[in-house]
A and B are shown apart, each in its own frame.
Chain A
Amino acid sequence: MKFFAELGKFFLMLKGMFSKPENWKMYWKEFMHQCSEIGIGSLPIVSIISFFIGAVSAVQTSYQLVSPLIPLETISQIVRDTVILEFSSTLICIVLAGVVGSKIAGELGNMRVSEQIDALEIMGVNSKAYLVLPKVLAAMLVIPMLVVISMVLGILGGRVASAMSGIVPPATFDKGLITEFLPYNVFFALVKAYTFAFLIASIPAYYGYHVQGGALEIGRSSTKAVVVTCIAILLMDYVLAALLL
């Protein structure tokens, strides 16, 4: 029952986000600020993780494909599809759930506890629309961008690692990348990225917005927000894979 009560509160929060902005310019400013916070703020960690995941996946794939009957291009095909289908779209979003999710939950939780959200409401500002909606929209704009960057860097990491360790020559790796490439996989990865972006912003926003108590509760809600977001991402990952593949 508690789950359904929380779910109901979550949807009420989403419904409350949609009202006419008091001042479009201020909302736009907040949206751009969130794009910068979520996008540029997460870019370094996304870049590092993507590059090394691609590199490690190339090395580990070659370690397992020991048969001389399997052409070397297969390694780059596997790296490409693994990075596009799962690493960049799901694993990076799980990382973002930690990085962005805890930040959103902590920020809103602190604003709730220190009465800053009440101050906005009393001024006549719809706090859900002003604080939550720009975060959700910004996440849905920049997280798919980060996922695309992650795909490029992951494949690049695989190519660099293959070349440096002499597993696959660069020309062979490149040939493998375009062999049997399915653009639908990129479309599928972007559908996942949009879905996960919504979860990454909205679930932590819900936990942060509804914090009651003090510093300890803010920490707890941030942790809970990240855990629930990760579970929701994995669940949706399976649902989307079952529906779209």
Chain B
Amino acid sequence: MIEIKDLRKGFDDKAVLKGVTVNMNPGMCNLIIGSSGSGKTVFMKCLVGLFQPDSGAILYGGRDFTRLSVEDKKEIRKEIGMLFQGSALFSSMTVEENIIFPLDMFTDWDRSKKLDRVNEVLARVNLNGANKKFPAELSGGMMKRVGIARAIVLNPKYLFVDEPNSGLDPQTSGLIDKLIKEITEEFGITTIINTHDMNSVMEIGDHIVYMYQGEKEWEGNSKDIIFSKNERLNNFIFASDFLKDAKDMRMLEETGNIPSSEDRNIEEMIRNAEEPLIPPSSE
């Protein structure tokens, strides 16, 4: 588990994180959501040690990351894997060299054992045979999968994922989400995902933290979100009519009624949804 206690961080005179206290639950997908400027990226960078917080504590299994020496931090970092928004693959290296890099740096395994492990993680992300390709030859989705393979190659306890769906089409986004969820469950990793994507929120959000202006505004799971009365959260998550409709449909499935949408003609909405969008030709 990662326990975050009263985390504060500012730049110059501007406070970005204003005392965030939250626990990241082990073995599940913890999502950090929030609008742009809400502080979620700074929050994640503090968690992985790219920013030093002004005050507060970040406890990895009881060890306060903010107060450790550089060498002790390195030990915790070996337990961390991260998938970056742009994948952050080393552009001068092949897929195989990218994935083997952490093994070369931190293990004394022989070459064949390292290659076996590389092939194992590549197979896990469904990229068999991509060993000799360079990042420039890969699609966005493939780069994300290589990034995941590199992040899990050392069997991390914690997996951080920054905007896993950015720049991907909805279908590929879904596949990446599914892969992250499967890996989290399969290896019992504590996964922390920073996302804007509402599909991710609803599909893999075991534990969701909504941040608003540098503070934790709401916490729950994907089911709780449907029934939440938090106005800021609802305005953020269900920003469009389409998403409002999706929410109502989900509520209908869960409870049989739609308490939050008395002002909208749900029966008509359902009837419309059942009708094809493009009428069949009259031939």
Contact = CB atoms under 8 A, between A and B. Distances in A.
Interface of A: 19, 22-23, 25-26, 110, 114-116, 118-119, 121-125
Interface string B46-85: 0011100000000000000000001001110110101011
Contacts of A116: 88-91
A115 B88 contact: yes
A22 B82 contact: no
B109 interface: no
Contact of B104 (A19, A23, A114): A23
A23 B49 contact: no
Contacts of A119: 82, 84, 88, 90
B157 to A, nearest CB: 13
B174 interface: no
Given A23-B104, A23-B105, A23-B106, A114 B49 contact: no
B91 A122 contact: no
A123 B88 contact: no
A22 B88 contact: no
B86 interface: yes
Contacts, number: 53
Contact of B82 (A19, A25, A26, A122): A122
Contact of A114 (B50, B77, B80, B88): B88
Q: What bracket does the count of chain B residues touching chain A fall in?
A: 20 to 34
A114 B162 CA distance: 13
Nearest to A16: B70
B102 interface: yes
A118 B74 CA distance: 14
Nearest to A20: B71
A16 to B, nearest CB: 10
Sort A-B residue pairs by CB-CB distance and give the 3 closest, nearest first.
A124-B77, A115-B88, A119-B88
B47 to A, nearest CB: 10
Contacts of A110: 91
B70 to A, nearest CB: 7
Contact of B106 (A19, A22, A114, A118): A22
A113 to B, nearest CB: 9
Contact of B85 (A19, A115, A122): A115
B58 to A, nearest CB: 14
A161 B74 CA distance: 59
A116 B80 CA distance: 16
26 contacts: A22-B105, A22-B106, A26-B104, A26-B105, A110-B91, A114-B88, A115-B85, A116-B89, A116-B91, A118-B84, A119-B82, A119-B84, A121-B50, A121-B77, A122-B48, A122-B49, A122-B77, A122-B80, A122-B160, A123-B77, A123-B78, A123-B101, A123-B102, A124-B73, A124-B74, A124-B106
Given A23-B106, A26-B104, A118 B50 contact: yes
B92 to A, nearest CB: 9
B33 to A, nearest CB: 21
Interface in B86-131: 86, 88-91, 101-102, 104-106
Contacts of B102: 123
Given A23-B106, A118-B50, A118-B84, A124 B90 contact: no
Contacts of B80: 122
Contacts of A121: 49-50, 77
B74 A22 contact: yes
Counting chain A CB atoms within 10 Å of each CB, which of B48, B70, B74, B101 scores highest? B74
A122 B50 contact: yes
A237 B22 CA distance: 57
A106 to B, nearest CB: 12
Contacts of B88: 114-116, 118-119
Contact of B84 (A22, A25, A115): A115
A167 to B, nearest CB: 48
Interface centre among B70, B78, B84 (most CB of A within 10 A): B84
A123 to B, nearest CB: 5
A123 B105 contact: yes
A19 B70 contact: yes
Nearest to B90: A116
Contacts of A122: 48-50, 77, 80, 82, 160
A114 B105 contact: no
Interface string B261-274: 00000000000000
A61 B78 CA distance: 63
Nearest to B107: A23
Contacts of B106: 22-23, 123-124
Nearest to A115: B88
Contacts of B75: 124
B91 A115 contact: no
A105 to B, nearest CB: 16
Contacts of A123: 77-78, 101-102, 105-106
